[in-house]
């Protein structure tokens, strides 16, 4: 029987009973091959262990596997979510907080910033215009709660981007009446809206 060859690394398997004078050379060659394979493997392991990590998509990994690995996560704030900031990790709390009502400043012209919130509330202190929002993003939806003050009788008209099924309707004008406007941005410049009856 001739010498054999191993399947994976092609080490020589000396023929039993017929290679007495050459076993040493063959085994030495085998050990040299094993040494080379292990050295190559160690080089790869060392390269992996010594790799420095860098920030990517909201996750920061620093250090090496040998020197101590540190992992930190950049969790999105409510403001980040509202503004659609990239490379942030989202958790349940930030999603919940992002839905909180944002108070709009009462003025003759009220201009929501859609980067600042999804749901808004405002108390009218006079006749007002709900102007076209800034930072409109297709698909954004929410509600705007419009309250009459203790005097009541305040009117509200709308900027040209607001589109109602039958045209904008008058809001309820009683003192402390509460109205709700639901909206979704179809595309920048087109906001589909519906207006509720008064909540008492």
pLDDT tens for each residue of 31-43: 778 877 877 788 8
Rounded CA separation 178/195 (Å): 11
Query: Which stretches of the chain score pLDDT less than 50?
Result: none
Looking only at the bridges linking them, the beta strands covering 109-110 and 128-130 are: parallel
pLDDT of 35 reads: 75
Residues 46-66 pLDDT 10s: 776 666 655 555 666 666 666
Q: Same domain for 38 and 76?
A: no
Q: Same domain for 87 and 65?
A: yes
Q: Same domain for 89 and 111?
A: no
Q: CB 70: neighbour CB atoms within 10 A?
A: 10
**What pTM does this model have?**
0.65
pLDDT of 9 reads: 74
pLDDT of 46 reads: 73
Range of the domain at 146: 100-195
Split into its structural domains, the chain has a count of 3
Q: Same domain for 109 and 173?
A: yes
Q: Same domain for 144 and 154?
A: yes
Q: Same domain for 70 and 36?
A: no
Rounded CA separation 30/26 (Å): 6
Q: Same domain for 33 and 85?
A: no
Indicate whether 200 belongs to any domain: no
Provide CB contacts within 8 A for 197, sequence distance 6+. Answer: 172, 179
Indicate whether 153 belongs to any domain: yes
């Amino acid at each position: 029987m001739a010498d054999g060859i191993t399947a994976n690394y092609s080490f020589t398997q000396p023929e039993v009973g017929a290679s007495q004078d050459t076993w040493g050379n063959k085994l030495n060659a085998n050990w040299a091959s094993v040494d080379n394979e292990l050295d190559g493997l160690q080089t790869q392991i060392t390269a992996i262990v010594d790799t420095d990590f860098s920030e990517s998509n909201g996750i920061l990994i620093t250090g090496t596997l040998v020197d101590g690995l540190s992992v930190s996560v950049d969790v999105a704030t409510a403001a980040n979510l509202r503004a659609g900031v990239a490379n942030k990790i989202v958790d349940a709390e930030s999603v919940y907080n992002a839905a909180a009502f944002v108070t709009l400043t009462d003025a003759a012209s009220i201009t929501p910033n859609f980067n600042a919130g999804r749901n808004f509330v405002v108390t009218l202190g006079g006749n007002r215009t709900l102007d076209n929002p800034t930072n409109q993003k297709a698909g954004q939806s929410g509600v705007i709660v419009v309250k009459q003050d203790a005097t009541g009788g305040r009117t509200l008209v709308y900027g040209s981007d607001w589109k109602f099924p039958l045209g904008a309707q008058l809001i309820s004008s009683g003192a402390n009446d509460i109205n709700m406007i639901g909206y979704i941005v179809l595309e920048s410049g087109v906001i589909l809206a519906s207006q509720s009856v008064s909540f008492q």
